[in-house]
Structure 1
Amino acid sequence: MSDDKRVYLFDTTLRDGAQTQGVDFNVGDKQALAEALDRLGVDYIEGGWPGANPTDDAFFGNPPRFRRAKFVAFGMTRRPGRSAANDPGLSALLNAKTHAVCMVGKSWDFHVDVALGIPRAENVAMIAESVAHAKERVAEVMFDSEHFFDGYKNNPAYALECAEAAYKAGARWVVLCDTNGGTLPHEIERIVGEVTARIPGSHLGIHCHNDTENAVANSLAAVRAGVRQVQGTLNGLGERCGNANLVSLIPSLMLKTDFKTGLDDNDLKQITHLSRLLDERLNRAPSRSAAYVGESAFAHKGGLHVSAVEKDPKTYEHIEPTLVGNRRHIVVSDQSGRANILARFREIGLEIDADDPKVAALVETVKLREYDGYAYDGAEASFELLARRGLGSVPDYFKLARFRVMDERRWNMRGDLVTESEATVTLDVHGEHMMTVATGNGPVNALDTALRKALTPLYPGLADMRLVDFKVRILTPQAGTEAITRVMIESADASGERWSTVGVSPNIIDASYEALNDALTWKLMKLSQAPATR
């Protein structure tokens, strides 16, 4: 690979994306998304701002272990009037024990004058001293040159002075930020070209916001002009109108240009799944019209389009959808799904002939269930169980005879108003009939507790299993209290394994039981497949 064509990918979903209105990542969300980004193969994953909030502190306190990506902490340059060695914010950043740090500073004279209210020379000193101080303590230092393009248009000499101060102090990357998102592609390309006369493109990055719907185009223009690091977020999350969307930017770089990334063809096939995984964790519907990964991105409806696509898909498709892990969808006579399902079979270790009638039957089952509201992109364990059940290869570890869940709202002995949940389950396990009762913090927790109270004595391997996330989505809000509900449950065990399951029903408790049943069954199946130890 030619070094001058290598573009490094920097994901800031967990930091800049977390500033999206309505988005509130918990530690489990950050852990799962970071691991998924590492599997994809991005070069840098920015985890958040150490010291900014308890969630980021907990995440950096128990950081994920990456195989491919470098972990990055975000923070600010030193404050005015303090030395770099005596600034609490900068110390918190450098004590995060990440491979790299990314610090932000001003490069627009207007912001220095109005927002900071300090001499412009002091701002330049803050940048240089902070980068030099960090360079002595971490492997890689990056500088986000905030409002660079607005600053350059207003005062090119000063904006360049700020960026150069970081570069000369040892910054591996100087990232040019279109923070207000108001710059257009032709301006980006011109300005970046002028900057490369002073700072090599191999040390320049681009960070674009999407306020004119140009963040991806601006990022591509910057790459054409010489930058070699691109920052963005999954699904374009970010403040106001969002950031450059890596989900569309990465395929465009890899499939539409001669620039190279650290991803290979198999990595790229994960991009659709990753996009939908994020939406599931945010408990929101994926955008059907999203470029590359949307359900409608390769959909064809009737008439001229369908006739042409059936002869040659290139007539109405700019790429083969499987390159990005998506599928073709012909609405009037749907022939899609087989290739994707066979690929999923290979991922879970199921070997089956492509012409086996069970494959076609499973394709239809998945389509029908997804029509009913199931979402298997975010519930891989439920999909695996569905596939194995279709092939008749999942044992009946237990059968539910009945369950009952009751909630009681009352005053306790201390005079507090409390609501208590109690669940009773009756199970058949290998011919043995058993009933258990358990209380919990809500009906689903009570049901989960009762199930495992019954099963753990017979299956001790369930003891380390725990429910780590629970999301409910109303699929038919127009139906009011009779609406169809989808429940997504994420489980984990002591090994660090995580798996997600789904249930759908007009009754939220019934949907929850379906997801819990799959979660327990998947764990038991994996225990039975594990090699025996002495």
Structure 2
Amino acid sequence: MKEQVFLYDTTLRDGTQGEGVSLSVDDKLKIVKKLDELGVHYIEGGWPGSNPKDMEFFEQVQKIRLLNSKITAFGSTRRIGIKAEEDENLQKLIESGVKAVAIFGKTWDFQVKEALKTSLDENLQMIVDSVSFLKNNGLDVTFDAEHFFDGYKQNKEYALKAIVSAEMAGADCIALCDTNGGTLPHEIAEIVEEVCSHVTIQVGIHCHNDGEVAVANSLAAVQSGARQVQGTMNGYGERCGNANLISVIANLQMKMNYQCIDEVNLAKLTSISKYVHEIANQAAPSNQPFVGRSAFAHKGGMHVSAVLKHPQTYEHVKPELIGNKRRVLISELSGQSNLMFKAKEWNCTIDKKDPNSKQLLETIKEKEHEGYQYEAAEASFELLVKKSFSTWKDYFSLDYYKIFIEKSGQDLFTTEAVIKLCVQNEMVLTAAEGNGPVNALDHALRKGLEQFYPIIKKMYLSDYKVRVLDETEATASKVRVLIESSDGEEKWSTIGVSGNIIKASWLALVDSVQYYLMKHENEIEVVYPKKEDHCLGVSNH
């Protein structure tokens, strides 16, 4: 029987204190539903006494039927010199309608003297009064022992006296906070073990990541007796963030034999991590442990060869168990194993003895040397493989293009592209205007192709990135253009490299369209337009 560790998520409160993270009430409610689905035990919604948004959240969240989670509100001990029942912040906690609260209080004598500017005895009384008041109002109370580890190292006796005071007042859990994030795992382990010998109630851990050991500290605390772990999804939080609950859950449950969530819910970790990133409008780090896009990505040829024989050779857990997947990257470090793996993904068979395989590998290495980066443009790479190992017929080919840029009036530029294509053995001449040369090329290309392949109307360019490869060459430098395209259902990336930014963009554009047509070969209905429809025309598209 696995021992239970309770999860306390503070993404909606502590997580929003991270730079660039802001959540609306609707955002918070959406995340609550996902956390409840995952099986998180406590979800801290915010500080009701601090702002109207949090009060609105607590009103709205009561309308949601939660199956697994208990909503908690956050606050502090009473103010100096007043009774707990007279403290507005404590009253707001009760008015929030929650059944569980967490209040923080000082446990470091330095903070009491310098930040609160009060006596050590008064601080202890503030803890007792506040916890007692909330317990008398029927609430589940967690006491967040702020700056506990720093306080313990400076004045062990007082730090312990503070948490024992909270216990005696009726607290259900004492959460030890590494508020400044500077404590190391071996210190956490020793101190938590000592605390567990002084209190009889549940001990929790709340770690910040300033020393980049928040997850390690949380695991060490559990090993030493803590049974509640506080943290945030994806490690959001003030300064360097909080303990990342995604990694905490995976490590505790998959490697340390503790129970955090239902076993079947482990497979939701990747999707929920991405969901929270999306709602918070944060770019998901590709190298995020367990759930990142690169967490199970293999690049070196020898690594890939070994993984194909047995994944455990270079993977610490099975990616499928946490909802992730294995990826093999293509670069100058690739070997034939990389090619075979990718070909298998695309239902292509590659024979190691086939000279085309070796030639393709050399081609890839040459192109990487030129500046191509296929790990970021798998659509272009798939086209390269298909062209090397199958009978390939281009859906169209370029005869020429011309671009005209005209300045008329003050700060008014007009850009027009003229393209001549060969499509289905017919020559097509089209022209279109755009916001710039690449946009005009895109419009003209589509205009010419849509006459033959109406399905092209579904796809669109969703992202465009340019990187200068050698800044020392200034305007003569090669550039790498990455284009992301979509049809509303799937996305794919293509690449072009050249000393001419227009050419690099054209190469990426062509790959994007060719790839889409290849993927939808069975849906293509070629339409042969009337001859008069091939005439040159200008369109604003």
TM-score range, shorter chain: 0.5 to 0.7
Cα distance in 1 for residues equivalent to 2:43 and 2:345? 32
Cα distance in 2 for residues equivalent to 1:334 and 1:217? 35
Aligned to 2:198: 198
Structure 1 residue 38, shift from structure 2 partner = 0.5
Structure 1 residue 28, shift from structure 2 partner = 1.4
Q: Is the 8 A contact 1:94 1:138 kept in 2?
A: no
Q: Is the 8 A contact 2:378 2:492 kept in 1?
A: no
Aligned to 1:112: 112
Report the 3-state secondary structure (helix = DSSP H, G, I; strand = E; otherwise coil) of the residue aligned with 1:206.
strand
Structure 1 residue 227, shift from structure 2 partner = 0.7
Report the 3-state secondary structure (helix = DSSP H, G, I; strand = E; otherwise coil) of the residue aligned with 2:282.
coil
Aligned to 1:173: 173
Structure 1 residue 330, shift from structure 2 partner = 1.8
Q: Does 1:61 align with 2:65?
A: no
Cα distance in 2 for residues equivalent to 1:369 and 1:296? 11
Q: Does 1:287 align with 2:285?
A: yes
Aligned to 1:232: 231
Aligned to 1:276: 274
Per the alignment, do residues 337 and 218 of structure 1 end up closer, same or farther by CA in structure 2, a change over 3 Å counting?
Answer: farther
Aligned to 2:245: 246
Structure 1 residue 315, shift from structure 2 partner = 0.8
What letter corresponds to residue 42 of structure 1 in structure 2? Answer: V
Report the 3-state secondary structure (helix = DSSP H, G, I; strand = E; otherwise coil) of the residue aligned with 1:270.
helix
Aligned to 1:133: 133
Per the alignment, do residues 320 and 19 of structure 1 end up closer, same or farther by CA in structure 2, a change over 3 Å counting?
Answer: same
Aligned to 1:316: 314
What letter corresponds to residue 231 of structure 1 in structure 2? Answer: Q
Report the 3-state secondary structure (helix = DSSP H, G, I; strand = E; otherwise coil) of the residue aligned with 1:476.
strand
Structure 1 residue 286, shift from structure 2 partner = 1.1
Cα distance in 2 for residues equivalent to 1:157 and 1:315? 49
Q: Is the 8 A contact 1:72 1:101 kept in 2?
A: yes
Per the alignment, do residues 139 and 51 of structure 1 end up closer, same or farther by CA in structure 2, a change over 3 Å counting?
Answer: closer
Cα distance in 1 for residues equivalent to 2:238 and 2:109? 23
Structure 1 residue 488, shift from structure 2 partner = 13
Q: Is the 8 A contact 2:465 2:482 kept in 1?
A: yes
What letter corresponds to residue 217 of structure 1 in structure 2? Answer: A
What letter corresponds to residue 288 of structure 1 in structure 2? Answer: S
Q: Is the 8 A contact 1:104 1:143 kept in 2?
A: yes
Q: Is the 8 A contact 1:142 1:172 kept in 2?
A: yes
Q: Is the 8 A contact 1:45 1:71 kept in 2?
A: yes
Cα distance in 2 for residues equivalent to 1:138 and 1:99? 8
Structure 1 residue 93, shift from structure 2 partner = 1.1
Cα distance in 2 for residues equivalent to 1:486 and 1:247? 30
Report the 3-state secondary structure (helix = DSSP H, G, I; strand = E; otherwise coil) of the residue aligned with 1:323.
helix
Cα distance in 2 for residues equivalent to 1:13 and 1:137? 26
Report the 3-state secondary structure (helix = DSSP H, G, I; strand = E; otherwise coil) of the residue aligned with 1:286.
coil
Per the alignment, do residues 488 and 99 of structure 1 end up closer, same or farther by CA in structure 2, a change over 3 Å counting?
Answer: farther
Per the alignment, do residues 203 and 488 of structure 1 end up closer, same or farther by CA in structure 2, a change over 3 Å counting?
Answer: farther
Q: Is the 8 A contact 1:329 1:336 kept in 2?
A: no
Aligned to 2:182: 182
Aligned to 1:424: none
Cα distance in 2 for residues equivalent to 1:114 and 1:176? 21
Identity of aligned residues (%): 48
Matches within 5 A, 1:9-408: 9-63=7-61, 64-200=64-200, 203-261=202-260, 263-331=261-329, 332=338, 333-334=341-342
What's the RMSD between the two structures over aligned residues? Answer: 3.0
Q: Is the 8 A contact 1:216 1:249 kept in 2?
A: yes
Report the 3-state secondary structure (helix = DSSP H, G, I; strand = E; otherwise coil) of the residue aligned with 2:177.
strand
Report the 3-state secondary structure (helix = DSSP H, G, I; strand = E; otherwise coil) of the residue aligned with 1:66.
coil
Structure 1 residue 252, shift from structure 2 partner = 0.2
Q: Which runs of 5+ in 1 are unaligned?
A: 339-366, 374-472, 490-500, 507-534
Per the alignment, do residues 335 and 266 of structure 1 end up closer, same or farther by CA in structure 2, a change over 3 Å counting?
Answer: farther
Per the alignment, do residues 144 and 234 of structure 1 end up closer, same or farther by CA in structure 2, a change over 3 Å counting?
Answer: same
Number of corresponding residues:
363
What letter corresponds to residue 83 of structure 1 in structure 2? Answer: K
Report the 3-state secondary structure (helix = DSSP H, G, I; strand = E; otherwise coil) of the residue aligned with 1:249.
helix
Q: Which runs of 5+ in 2 are unaligned?
A: 330-337, 347-373, 381-460, 469-480, 494-504, 506-541
Structure 1-normalised TM-score?
Answer: 0.64
Cα distance in 2 for residues equivalent to 1:127 and 1:6? 28
Per the alignment, do residues 484 and 305 of structure 1 end up closer, same or farther by CA in structure 2, a change over 3 Å counting?
Answer: closer
Cα distance in 1 for residues equivalent to 2:107 and 2:307? 51
Per the alignment, do residues 173 and 475 of structure 1 end up closer, same or farther by CA in structure 2, a change over 3 Å counting?
Answer: farther
Structure 1 residue 97, shift from structure 2 partner = 0.9
Structure 1 residue 266, shift from structure 2 partner = 1.4
Per the alignment, do residues 174 and 504 of structure 1 end up closer, same or farther by CA in structure 2, a change over 3 Å counting?
Answer: same
